[in-house]
Amino acid sequence: MGSTGAIGRREEWAASWERLTALPLTVFSLVFLAAYAAPILEPQLSSAWITVCRVTTFTTWLVFWLDMAVRFILHAQRRRFLREHLFDLAVLLLPMLRPLRALRLVTVVLSLSRRTEAWVRGRLGIYVAATTVLLVGVASLAVLDAERHAPDPSITNYADALWWAAVTITTVGYGDFYPVTTEGRLVAVGLMIGGIGLIGFVTGSLATWIVDRVSGRDRHPAATAEDVAALRQEIAALRQQLDPAEATRPVDPVTPPVQPARTPAPDG
């Protein structure tokens, strides 16, 4: 009994920590994204600003690590926690390797996506649209960061990177721009996988909406309680005009009409 109570308290602590850190982690995600994007979008930044951006990204990265560590400590079933968060842990570990540093943005996408899901719960279309825009924007930054200084690059500015990301996530694939580095190709693979799910959902939802709209043209809306009440009032008003004495009798629209009694046929 005591063990069950302790587990319950730890689960409450973990839930309280997640509620407490939801907004701050969202802010840190946005700060991380801004600090990561600034040197990419503005290559002529001064060395001082570049240092500020690097310190900011490193600090926010430590915050994500701290959050993961606290959640692990508070969780009652730690092995289960590790099994359920292997991907998050890998995303935190792998960017320490230089060729995989773009994976840092995956944590930002996951964090913002979870917050968006909580804010627009019940509005799946808005959630998917926001996630798609976020994914395209982040992938554009990551591929430009990887490709800009590569030998003979195909993607050299953010406009080209944004066009490439939009073409890739929609699986169109014109081939006019393409990554040539290993890191850029890893970004492309992630964008393709994410695009298959998101674009498939959008296409399916749009087709369902069109079918519902077309099939609903031949349907008559069911009578509501307000319609029935209005009809009863009209019947009462007509009765009062025809026979004031009958106006006080309650209206019963569901009473079936009285059928005349059938006279049995005489025996022949």
**Pick from 140, 141, 154, 142: nearest CA to 99:** 142
Residues 26, 52, single domain; the answer is: yes
Confirm if 106 and 94 have CB atoms less than 8 A apart: no
- Among residues 215, 233, 261, the one where a domain terminates is 215
| pLDDT above 60 (res 261) | no
Residues 61, 15, single domain; the answer is: yes
Q: Is residue 267 part of a domain?
A: no
The string of pLDDT tens digits covering residues 37-56 is 898 888 888 889 999 988 99
Confirm if 191 and 169 have CB atoms less than 8 A apart: yes
How large is the greatest C-alpha to C-alpha distance in the chain, in angstroms? 118
166 versus 124: the higher-pLDDT residue is 166
The string of pLDDT tens digits covering residues 232-251 is 888 877 777 776 655 455 55
Supply the angle between the helices 2-41 and 124-147 in degrees, to the nearest 10: 50
Highest mean pLDDT among 9-13, 121-125, 133-137: 133-137
Give the model's pLDDT for residue 190: 83
Name the pLDDT band for 98 (thresholds 50, 70, 90): very low
Residues 70, 144, single domain; the answer is: no
Domain extent, residue 46, equals 7-104
Residues 11, 97, single domain; the answer is: yes
Half-sphere exposure of residue 191: CA atoms within 13 angstroms, side-chain side? 33
Average pLDDT over residues 127-154: 84
**Pick from 137, 115, 158: nearest CA to 26:** 115
Count the domains in the chain.
Answer: 2
Tokens describing residue 135: 């994914």
| pLDDT above 90 (res 162) | yes
Name the pLDDT band for 60 (thresholds 50, 70, 90): confident
Residues 128, 211, single domain; the answer is: yes
